[in-house]
Structure 1
Amino acid sequence: MKPINYNKYRATKVFNSRVRFLIFHYTAGNFSSSVNALTGPNVSTHYLVPDITDPSYLKAGYTGQEVFSLVDETKRAWHAGVSTWGNRSNLNDTSIGVEIVNRATYSQGVFNFPPYQPEQIAAIEELALNILERYPDISPTLVLGHSDIAVGRKSDPGPKFPWHALYLKGVGAWFDDATRDAYLQQYNETGIPARSDLLKLFKTYGYDVSRASTEQGFSQLVRAFQLHFRPQTYDGVMDAQTAANLAALVHKYFP
């Protein structure tokens, strides 16, 4: 057989990228332990963003802010695990994962979420904008946290992740304040929507509502949403503010 001809008849329009999602995580460990985990046999990610104040990062010989590529974007990294968004599941297949060194902890039922370093956020912004420019199929509502796609199972990147600030720079989704305020006034006057209506809004936006038929499952769903879109309060309790944020998001992106 002659060598395969890769040059003559090339499709230029009828294909697209596998990448549909950009997913952010925290590592819940220092730089050293994060590298060991993410280059070991169980989990991986496309990018790792260190914390320049981390002693183990400094001990490794680094001083300025770096971003490390651990898995080529064309490959499937193992960062999302069991995951769902919209009509897609197993999001490792269709996502780019970004792990951020942050020593969030969970002990005796209590989370501690340390702030992210400004240098980290600047690096994340630059990286994300680069990725989004190269993968136009990643729409704002497909820039997500691990907690969004693994409801009740994950909490990263946590409430200290600056979703709104990144949105203002062109990364991800956020609601319009005027629309949110209108819904908030309505709900304060008439009460929040029925749970069935709230679940329709969650599902329309993309969240997996399959486990929300129980009180615990619904609370986990609300908390996942709050971690992203109401980080001041992430207790899993649906109130007028949370409902208004949700309704304003759906109004904006899924009219």
Structure 2
Amino acid sequence: MGPLTINYTAYRSPTFNKRVRFIVLHYTAINFEASVKALSGNTSSHYLVPRLDDESYKASGYSGMQVFNLVDENDRAWHAGASTWANRTNLNDTSIGIEVVNLASDDNGVFTFPDYEDAQVEALIQLTSNILSRYPDVSPKNVVAHSDIAPTRKSDPGPAFPWKRLADAGVGAWYDEDTKTRYERQFNDQGVPQQSDILNALQQYGYSTAPASTADGYKALIRAFQMHFRPSDYSGKLDAETAAVLYALNDKY
């Protein structure tokens, strides 16, 4: 028997889809130089978006916005950790991870969330729009925060991340204001839904409700949702506006 011949072109099965189902956004909480080192160690990400005013970025010889591709999109990057979204777990297997340099900090539970640079946001819009054009299975609500998929462990990319600006550019999900206002009026008049109803609605949107087995876990889950969709108050306490945003999202998606 001679060498094996493989014909890659004669017949191609139509029953397949892309590996990538999600885009997960993070902040690094460290500067550019430290981010490159960290993402070359025990963690990794497909992309790194620097910050132009970062002195370590300038010291590395860069000027202007350059996005760094650290891991090929066809390969798994180790950015998500233990994670769940839309009934899928271990999202490293099915996602593209994007790290954004931002010096957010956690001082014994007291968080500081700096704003993102305009150049970073514009770069993110271009990058994610390009990714979405190549992976049509990534629906708007599958563009997620690390905190969405791991709410008890993570806070990134934080409440300063401009989710609405990305959604207005066609990246990710956002609610309709009129629908949210209608629900908010209803919940102010009649009271917010019961916790069981809120959990059902969160699960419908994509969140894992497993953390809600404890009071602290439920608070972390609400906080994660608020950081993404109601960043003006992310205390983790359910109120009429938070519930209204959730129900408006489920009406839309």
- Taking structure 1 as the reference length, the TM-score comes to 0.97
What corresponds to 1:138 in structure 2? 138
**Matched residues in 2 for 1:36 and 1:26: separation?**
15
Measure, in 1, the Cα distance between the counterparts of 2:159 and 2:175: 17
Residues 1:109 and 2:109 aligned together? yes
Superposed, which structure 2 residues align to 1:174-185 within 5 Å? 174-185=174-185
* 1:90 equivalent in structure 2: 90
Which residue matches 1:153?
153
- 1:217 aligns with 217
Residue 45 of structure 1 corresponds to 45
Look up the match of 1:16: 17
Give the residue type in structure 1 aligned to 2:84.
T
Distance 1:28 1:78 in 2: 17
The number of aligned residues is: 252
Look up the SS of the partner of 1:155 in the other structure: coil
Partner amino acid, structure 1, of 2:225: F
Distance (whole Å) between structure 2 residues aligned to residue 235 and residue 175 of structure 1: 20
CA distance in 1, matches of 2:83, 2:9: 40
Equivalent-residue separation in structure 2 for 1:161 and 1:6 (angstroms): 48
The answer to whether the aligner puts 1:5 opposite 2:14 as a matched pair is: no
- Distance in 2, matches of 1:4 and 1:22, equals 37
Aligned 8 A contact 1:43 1:79 in 2: yes
Aligned residue number for residue 240 of structure 1: 240
Aligned residue number for residue 204 of structure 2: 204
What is the CA-CA distance between 1:13 and the residue it aligns to? 2.2
Indicate if the aligned counterparts of 2:152 and 2:211 stay in contact, CA closer than 8 A: no
Amino acid across the alignment from 1:127: L
Which range is displaced more, 124-133 or 210-219? 210-219
d(CA) in 1 for partners of 2:9 and 2:185? 62
- TM-superposed CA distance for 1:251, in Å, is 1.0
Contact map agreement 2:229 2:245 (CA 8 A) in 1: yes
Deviation at 1:12, TM superposition (A): 5.2
Q: What whole-Å deviation, never above 9, does each CA across 1:193-236 have from its counterpart, x for those lacking one?
A: 11111110001101010120321111011000001000111000
Equivalent residue letter for 1:200 = N
1:151 and 1:208 in contact (8 A); partners too: no
Q: Please give the alpha-carbon distance, in whole angstroms, between the structure 2 residues aligned to 1:12 and 1:189.
A: 55
Aligned residue number for residue 29 of structure 2: 28
SS in 2 for 1:24: strand
Percent identical across equivalent pairs?
A: 54
The one-letter amino acid of 2:217's match is G
- SS of the residue corresponding to residue 203 of structure 1 reads helix
- Aligned partners of 2:161 and 2:9: how far apart in 1? 48
Tell me which amino acid in the other structure corresponds to 2:17.
N
Q: Distance in 2 between matches of 1:4 and 1:10?
A: 14
**1:128 partner letter:** T
Q: Which residue of the partner structure matches residue 252 of structure 1?
A: 252
Partner Cα distance (1:212, 1:69) in 2 = 36
Name the SS of the counterpart of 2:97 in structure 1: strand
Report the Cα offset of residue 59 of structure 1. 0.3
Paired AA for residue 16 in structure 2? F
Q: Could you tell me which runs of 5 or more consecutive residues in structure 1 were left unpaired when the two chains were aligned.
A: none
Q: Secondary structure at the match of 1:173?
A: coil
Matched to 2:24, the amino acid is: I
Which amino acid in structure 2 is aligned with residue 28 of structure 1? A
